Amino acid sequence: MTTTLESQFCTFTVAGLDFGVEVDHVQEVLRHQEMTPVPRSTAAIHGLINLRGQIVTALDLRSRLGLPPREDDVPAMNVIVRNHGEVISLLVDDIGDVIDTGDRSLEPVPGTVPPTIQHAVKGVIALSGSLLLILDPDRAVDVPPATPTPGGTP
């Protein structure tokens, strides 16, 4: 898996952590969108947005990764990723640059990192100045349907 990894990543921050997703997975990045909540859905599902006529489910990465909730006055950004032929919005705190990690290698996530995060990422790339967690969009989106399990460990 490490060998097939692209070296270009779209980066963003969630609760002070730096994350990256391979650019190929990302369709677009949007500012804050009007959101329709979906009652009785998993806590991580923040709502539905209208993306040019398509209904897109928005997943709150903080909730999904077991991180503390976002403060109310901070609008979330949408990272729109494609997953199993479907389009999903990942809600993040802030968008960073697209960076090229070159030939830096992907290292496994230390076991001391909370399991909710471990499960959703492919590994860590150590950059000069920061540690970039590489998100696995498939697993990050893989929320058990309907039954609200706050931790989100499937």
Partner 1 sequence: MDDDAEIIAEFLVESHENLDQLDRDLVALEQDPGSRELLSSIFRTIHTIKGTSGFLAFGRLEALTHVGENLLSRLRDGEMELSAALTGTLLRMVDTVRALLAVIEESGQDASDQVDVDVVVAELKAALEGEAAPAPQVNAVPESVTAPEPVPTPVLEPAPVPDVVPEPTATPAAEATPTPVAASAPPVVPPAAPAVAAAPAAPAPAVAAAAPAAQVASTAPAVAAAPPAAAPTAPAPTVPARAFEAPQESEVEEHKRSVAESSVRVDVGLLDSLVQLVGELVLTRNQILQRTDTGEDLELGRAAQRLDLVVSELQEGVMATRMQPIGQVWAKMPRIVRDLASQLGREVELQMEGHETELDRSLLEALRDPLTHLVRNSLDHGIQPPAERIAQGRPPKGRLLLQASHESGQVVIEITDDGKGIDPARVAEVAIARGVITADAAARMDPRELVNLVFRPGFSTAEAVTNVSGRGVGMDVVRTNLERIGGTVDIVSKVGQGTTVRVRIPLTLAIIPALVVAHDGERYAIPQSNLVELVKVEGDALERDVEFLAGAPVMRLRGHLLPLVSLTEALATGTGEFRDWRDRAPDASLTVVVVQADDTRFGLCVDDVQDTQEIVVKPIGRLLKGLDLYAGATIMGDGRVALILDVPGLAQHRNLAATAAEETARQAASTDRTALLVMEIASGRRAAMPLVDVSRLEEFDIAQLEHSGAGEVVQYRDGILPLVRLAPAIGLVDTPGERSKVNVIVHELGAHRVGIVIDQVLDVVETELVRSDVGRREGVLGSAVVQDRVTDLVDLAAVVELAGAR
Residue 74 touching partner 1 (CB under 8 A): no
Rounded to a whole number of angstroms, the minimum distance from the CB of residue 32 to partner 1 is: 14
Q: Which of residues 35-64 bind partner 1 (CB under 8 A)?
A: 36-42, 45, 47-50, 52-57, 59
Task: Find the distance separating the first CA and the last CA of the chain, reported in whole Å.
Answer: 22
Residue placing its CB nearer to partner 1 in the complex, 55 or 74:
55
CB of 88 to partner 1, least distance (A): 7
Would you tell me how many other CB atoms lie within 10 Å of the CB of residue 39?
4
Regarding 81 and contact with partner 1 (CB under 8 A), the answer is no
Report in angstroms how near the CB of residue 103 gets to partner 1 at its nearest.
Answer: 36
Q: In the complex with partner 1, which residue's Cβ is closer, 64 or 122?
A: 64
Q: Give Cα 5 to chain centroid, integer Å.
A: 17
Per-residue mark of binding to partner 1, 119-148 (x: CB under 8 A): ----------------------x-x-xxx-
Smallest CA-to-CA distance from 22 within 152, 141, 137 is with: 137
Element (H, E) at 29: strand 26-30
Helix/strand/coil for 33: coil
On the CB side of 58, how many CA atoms lie within 13 Å of its CA?
24
Can you tell me whether residue 56 is helix, strand or coil? strand
Chain residues binding partner 1 by CB under 8 A are: 34, 36-42, 45, 47-50, 52-57, 59, 84, 86, 88, 141, 143, 145-147
